[in-house]
Structure 1
């Protein structure tokens, strides 16, 4: 891993819940410790974007850390670990769902609770920043017109009004977007982060940055190999398999009429 690319990590829930979107706290803690042990710097998303634009240079291996969905266990489990290490992270929050439980397609059978406004306000004064994940965790490829605009623009305004801070970054739920969605995102945000598996280089699309799903790196020796520039064969295999799955999902996904 060199300054030619910077991985952006993706987490959802730090808990013992089943499924690929949950990672146990014990594993997460070791993943974070490995970052420090391997001499890797953690950038915030504004630094990462400045690097992508050639406005900021990094002199050692670097990563950025993101969380989708704003689950309560971010505050209870993940944030304390990262705060002790001085790691910044960005949480993509569905603004209309804060303080409630997940109720969208693909949610856990046992619905996970999202942070409330007072919690994210408190964390935003520390090492956490917040981006938009739409208002209602909407699939942007299934909506259009005023509904699309509201999901993208209104979520930004709600977060900014409640937090008193600019909201510059966006992540579409499920990683689903199309040209209409990306054009609207670009009107309101500085960057958007998808779910394509990959490291972000300086030619990466600013409104569809790839990320690294961290459930692929629950095995800690494999994670340390990744951080130190080894383990390339495993990464390429995972990337190829993910690409096939995403292509199939795109073909099968219903399109809005």
Structure 2
């Protein structure tokens, strides 16, 4: 899971950015190891058809969240050089253009660039409209975020997005059900673990690549080595945030009941 690809990230995107040089090196590692990238939709189609649509050997997903301009400027040429497909999950209200609602934390893609990415073999998925914590929204606001994102992508690209990624990786049973009802056929969380079929099509895990990820760490990640140790802190924080979010939900429900 990538976010911004840039030489000069701002304070908001620094931790979850990678430099263009590091991204190029990481894609070379995938090729040297004989891994074969595919899109999120292709992986889900394989699992849904019980293998009738075979996977390439040693499959791997390359995904980008949010929609930063550097994905077009820096990542697309590298992907093209390796003939690697990928998936980009866009927060439609953050992109530059007719649907821009503002709030993007750095320079974002415009819709012409998104179309060029799609033409270059990048699957375009949804990532909500304004990038909220979906599990903290009421039903109507949650539905509006999902449908506006889906309809905006469909209007701009001519095809509705099949895949979705939860902003911040946060979801719940209610959120996953609404994502499915909105017509998305699969969705990705974070989890910082390998994607497994047992996770189900609406809670697939990914591994976070950061600016501090060394070449050796990256190789360990894609080979599935020492993941539990490397992401122990992230998982502890995730569990803590989950408890806080559930407490907030309970409190809001209690307030609505009293009113």
TM-score, length-normalised on structure 2? 0.85
The 3 A distance-change label for structure 1 pair 226 and 170 is: closer
- Give the C-alpha shift of residue 223 in structure 1: 2.3
The 3 A distance-change label for structure 1 pair 38 and 177 is: same
More divergent stretch after superposition (49-58 vs 174-183): 49-58
CA distance in 2, matches of 1:125, 1:181: 30
Q: Which residue of 1 aligns with 2:64?
A: 67
CA distance in 2, matches of 1:46, 1:217: 29
Retained in 1: the 8 A contact 2:93–2:101?
no
Q: Which residue of 1 aligns with 2:243?
A: 251
CA distance in 2, matches of 1:226, 1:149: 35
Residue 13 (1) aligns with residue 7 (2): no
Residue 50 (1) aligns with residue 41 (2): no
Retained in 1: the 8 A contact 2:2–2:16?
yes
TM-score, length-normalised on structure 1? 0.86
Higher relative contact order (CA 8 A, sep 6+): 1
CA distance in 1, matches of 2:85, 2:212: 20
The 3 A distance-change label for structure 1 pair 101 and 162 is: closer
CA distance in 1, matches of 2:101, 2:21: 24
Residue 189 (1) aligns with residue 184 (2): yes
**Structure 2: which 5+ runs fail to align?**
254-259
Retained in 2: the 8 A contact 1:194–1:210?
yes
Retained in 2: the 8 A contact 1:101–1:113?
no
**Aligned pair count?**
239
Aligned to 1:194, the other structure's residue is in SS state strand
1:170 pairs, out of 160, 164, 178, with: 164
Q: What is the root-mean-square deviation of aligned Cα atoms in Å?
A: 2.0
**Structure 1: which 5+ runs fail to align?**
1-9, 105-110
- Give the C-alpha shift of residue 206 in structure 1: 1.1
More divergent stretch after superposition (44-53 vs 213-222): 213-222
Aligned to 2:75, the other structure's residue is in SS state helix
